[in-house]
Amino acid sequence: MGHAPENTLLGIRTALEMGCDGVEIDVRLCGDGVPVLIHDDDLSRTTDASGRVADASLASLAAVDAGQGESVPTLRDALALVNGRMLLIVELKVTPGDDVVALCDAVLKDLSEADAIPWTWLWSFDSETVIELSGRASHSRRIAHLCIEPTPEVWRIAAEHRLDGISMHGSGLTGDHVAACRAHDMAAFVWTVNEPSDIERCIALGVTGIVSDYPERIQAALDDR
């Protein structure tokens, strides 16, 4: 997001050009039941349109401006662009009242048809969604629970449903969290870390991966080491 509008194909292309190891996108269902890339449940913050994403048709989303002339792409668009050239982290966004089963089914269907399983992760803050994914996904799919800081409930869900990782906010990251993930053979991701000193701290603690709006700062920190 430090270089291109969020959740756009331009953003993904920029990440590819910068040599990023991966890119994170947010996905929710539009009115036609198709997974599209957008963070909020409303269009007003990130596009020149307004109204609920769940009420918008796919055709109408293709006509909005999501920044620098970019439209709201579909998950299929993103999968075709990445095409295994880097890691794709798909965060499933859930608003109260959303059909979690429909969202999971649609996302998994798109990933399967694109043969994208080997190079994707599925993340969500919503515990119901994480549990639904773990029950429907094959063992080859990688699933992580997003959180500000891992609570006992997050650890319980991770253990009971054999999740592959936990992704926590940089402000709450501790060495104990990383150690606990390693002890349970889980990845320890951290988001959204932008300040160089915070990036250095995350690297020193041994996290699996860092989500940042400025990936070049992560690379610079790694180069310094």
At 175-193, the pLDDT tens digits run 999 999 999 999 999 999 9
The DSSP call for residue 172 is: G
Contact between 209 and 187 under an 8 Å Cβ cutoff? The reply is yes
CA distances from 177 to 64, 127, 173 (A): 41, 19, 7
At 39-80, the pLDDT tens digits run 999 999 999 999 999 999 999 999 999 999 999 999 999 999
Separation between Cα atoms, residue 201 and residue 173, nearest integer Å: 9
More confident residue, 139 or 184: 184
Contact between 93 and 41 under an 8 Å Cβ cutoff? The reply is yes
pLDDT at 225: 87
The DSSP call for residue 93 is: P
pLDDT at 137 over 70: no
pLDDT at 159: 96
At 195-215, the pLDDT tens digits run 999 999 999 999 999 999 999
Is the pTM higher than 0.95? The answer reads yes
Signed CA dihedral, 102, 107, 112, 117: sign only: negative
Separation between Cα atoms, residue 42 and residue 221, nearest integer Å: 36
Contact between 110 and 79 under an 8 Å Cβ cutoff? The reply is yes
Give all strands (DSSP E) within 30-183, no chain letters.
35-37, 87-92, 120-124, 142-147, 165-169
The DSSP call for residue 43 is: S
Average pLDDT on 95-114 reads: 96
Average pLDDT on 22-29 reads: 98
At 30-42, the pLDDT tens digits run 999 999 999 999 9
